Amino acid sequence: MNPKDAPFLTIAVVSHGQISLVERLLNTLSSHKPEIDFQVIILENVPDHPKIDFSHYEFKITYLKNQSSLGLSKNINLIFDKFCQDSEYFCILNPDIIFEHEVFSGLLTAMETHQIDIIAPLIVNTNQEIQDSFRPIPNPLEIILRFLNIKKSHYAFDLLPIISYPDWIAAMFLLMPSQIFKEVGGFNPRYRLYFEDVDFCVRARNMNLTIGVIKTIRVIHDGQRTSHKNILFLFRHIVSAIKFFMSKEYQLNHDEGTKSSADK
């Protein structure tokens, strides 16, 4: 693709037989589309037979199917390598995101104004309750307590600053310059599912990049916590957690955090 012809923004959506959710996402995006040149790349990771007519949408959509199932990290990297190299910005979306407003112009303005490298809107559920989509770097004990439902995060909207600077943001919505995704090295394919977003943000933090969430811009995430209901997903979650806590990226971040605390 010629850089002059490349869309300003490329949106990546990986579907796992979730074409009905993808259709809802596209419909709400169409109702609240940004006034910039953008394209949506949909990669179907599992066999599915969509009955969607993509031709009536007023933006470019490319629909792809994998020959065999890949991990989320490999799928995201594949989309980026094939379609986003020349786009100015890259956005990763879950299929179960719902737009109620146009969000991209505000996010792009906030990135420039506050010098944020990786940004996300506030994520709420269908009841407009703030979702646990941005957090400090986890530790092994915290993960265990979360699985046991002993520890949960609760955010009070009034107490949130306009811009929050968390350690990591969930990959249900991540927006950044394409160059940043490339410099960080993309998603780590060692993580087939879960912790790929934590790992990505930790590597970005280790490069002194800024991660931000803006509370005045929001989208709905109509999702379910699959790992608590499916033994296979639970196993993958545990495996990914072990990989992360044994990684050099986590150790570097943990060591820096311990050092900073000791210096206070």
CB contact at 8 A, 170 and 197: yes
Encoding tokens for residue 106? 């505000």
Summarised one tens digit per residue, pLDDT across range 51-77 is 678 999 999 999 999 988 898 999 999
The percent of residues in the chain predicted with pLDDT above 90, rounded, is 60
Closest CA to 18 of 134, 202, 178, 172: 172
User: What per-residue confidence (pLDDT) applies to 239?
Assistant: 76
| 155 has pLDDT over 70 | no
**What's the pLDDT band for 49 if we cut at 50, 70, 90?**
low
- Total Cβ atoms within 10 A of residue 256: 12
**Cβ contact 95:224 at 8 Å:** no
Whether residue 169 is predicted with pLDDT greater than 60 in this model: the reply is yes
Q: Where are the domains of the chain?
A: 3-263
Most confident of 126-135, 169-178, 218-227: 169-178
Q: Please, which pLDDT band fits residue 160 given cuts at 50, 70 and 90?
A: confident
- Determine the pLDDT at residue 5: 72
Dihedrals φ, ψ of 124, to 5°? Answer: -125, 160
Q: Tell me how far apart the alpha carbons of residues 217 and 33 are, in angstroms, rounded to a whole number.
A: 14
Contact 240, 191 (CB under 8 A): yes
191, 103 contact by CB (below 8 A): no
79 has pLDDT over 80? yes
**Per-residue model confidence as pLDDT tens digits over 92-132:** 999 999 999 999 999 999 999 999 999 999 999 999 999 88
Q: Which of 94, 176, 171, 168 is nearest to 134 (CA)?
A: 168
For every residue of 236-254, DSSP letters joined together read HHHHHHHHHHTSHHHHHHH
Averaged pLDDT, 200-223: 95
189 close to 77: Cβ distance less than 8 angstroms: yes
Q: What is the pLDDT of residues 172-200, one digit of tens each?
A: 999 999 999 999 999 999 887 788 999 99
The amino acid that residue 41 corresponds to is I
SS3 168: strand
- Identify the CATH assignment for 3-263 out of 3.40.50.410, 2.70.98.40, 3.40.50.300, 3.90.550.10: 3.90.550.10
